Amino acid sequence: MVAAQTQPGRLISGRYRLESVLGGGGFGRVWKAHDESLDVDVAVKEVWLPSAASDEEHAQRLRRAEREARNAARLRSHPHIVTLHDVVIEDQAPWIVMELVDGTLAERILQNGPLEARAVALVAKGLLEALGTAHASGIVHRDVKPANVMFGGDGRVLLTDFGIAVKQGDTALTMSGGLMGSLEYIAPERFNGVDSGGAGDLYSLGVTLYQALEGVSPFHRDTPTETLTAVLLGEAPVPREAGGLGTLITRLLDKDPARRPTAAEALAMIDALELPRVPNGPVAAAGRPVSAVSSPTRTENVPSPPQGNRKLLIAGGAVVAAVTQADSSSSAADSTAPAAKESGAKGQGMPPGCENLTEVMEKWNQVPLSGTVPLPPTEHVLTEILDLQKANLAKAVRPAVKTALQNDIDIAERALKALRADDPEIYRQAVAKDKLKHLTELSDACFFNNLGS
């Protein structure tokens, strides 16, 4: 694949120097880069083109990238849409140069927990204004989700990635006959072959706002089949922390696209609420902390499949997964927290290498995310994590567990090295971003590979 050959330091179009990967998806990844002509930092999206693809597949990817650029360019002046600067075709692959923006809504929820209702209202207004303009121009985004919602340095909410957007008059493109988009955010009518246009974007926005308020997606399940069933048949409960937004979100999530409000109608509903302004403006500062005790009581509100339900307990930036079997005789609020404690502390039924997962999570919780880090205590905790995980790796059997443990060891070693070298940027990258990703990977390997075994 082209993606496998790309390395930091590569110069694109003799101008854009790739520095580090910011994120990725099924069709490409985004780099932080430096525009050497203007001496400014930018984001560069690399579209992946598999070397084994047919000529038709190759042409389809190129058309898709060109369409993203064309659609985004039409909207580039909007204050709530990420600005596109340039499109480059190099080595028969497209590179899309965009405004560099700090952080996504998905990352914000994962790191800081759900947002306050008034902050979610501001997010909703920005996205509704962006979608309203796009829909008025005949453009449907088709992939609205927390990972495509970003925050500018001034707190602005920005919608990005029009990669599967469709403009009236465009030829519809699918990849290998498949349905493009992220499963749990796709409007149910699209699975029946009905293109509802802007109403589908409004449904996806409803799922996004629900997740911003509750910290979890209402339809995410452990398998694609369960997720699809939840989207088609499940009903999301009114979020508990809605602060007046519950009615709007319920209407956005209506299974019938004809009953969903338009972007303009949804904006009017928010304006009528007269929610208080977020202190100091930026939405980024409006996260609501979530404790390991309160998180399960919030996630039990979401319909779960009979086989069990994945719950993420977010505390101080660390992620702890718990699996609870469905039991009609007791509520999830009563059973989830003990299950998390017992599974991790006693290691009952856990695969080798996972017995002390909760202890490892608790130690990661003691590691400061950024700022002035006290060297001796933090160094001691990171060393303890390394000792624990190396011992766990020595007894692990399952390949997924081994890989996850090794990744966690690599992160701890990188953080420790950066701490001793007084390199705050590398340290923060390790403990604030990479740690969360690999702890979630470790939780998946320990808990979900263990179901039914």
Closest to 364 (Cα-Cα) out of 345, 384, 347: 384
Please give the Cα distance from 249 to 244 (Å, whole number). Answer: 10
Please give the Cα distance from 165 to 181 (Å, whole number). Answer: 10
Please give the Cα distance from 432 to 368 (Å, whole number). Answer: 9
Closest to 289 (Cα-Cα) out of 320, 317, 319: 317
Question: For 188, which DSSP code?
Answer: G
Please give the Cα distance from 256 to 351 (Å, whole number). Answer: 44
Closest to 308 (Cα-Cα) out of 436, 106, 445, 450: 450
Annotated active-site residue 154? The verdict is: no
The residue from 39, 55, 91, 143 that is catalytic is 143
Please give the Cα distance from 102 to 354 (Å, whole number). Answer: 34
Q: Is 52 exposed, middle or buried (0-12, 13-18, 19+ CB in 10 A)?
A: exposed
Is the C-alpha dihedral spanning 270, 273, 279, 280 positive or negative? Answer: positive
Residue with tokens 């088609």: 232
Please give the Cα distance from 94 to 22 (Å, whole number). Answer: 18
Can you read off the two tokens belonging to residue 54? 């047919």
Sheet with 157-159: list strands edge to edge.
102-104, 149-151, 157-159
Please give the Cα distance from 449 to 64 (Å, whole number). Answer: 36
Phi and psi torsions of 451, nearest 5°: -65, 130
Residue with tokens 């560099």: 100
Which positions are catalytic? 143
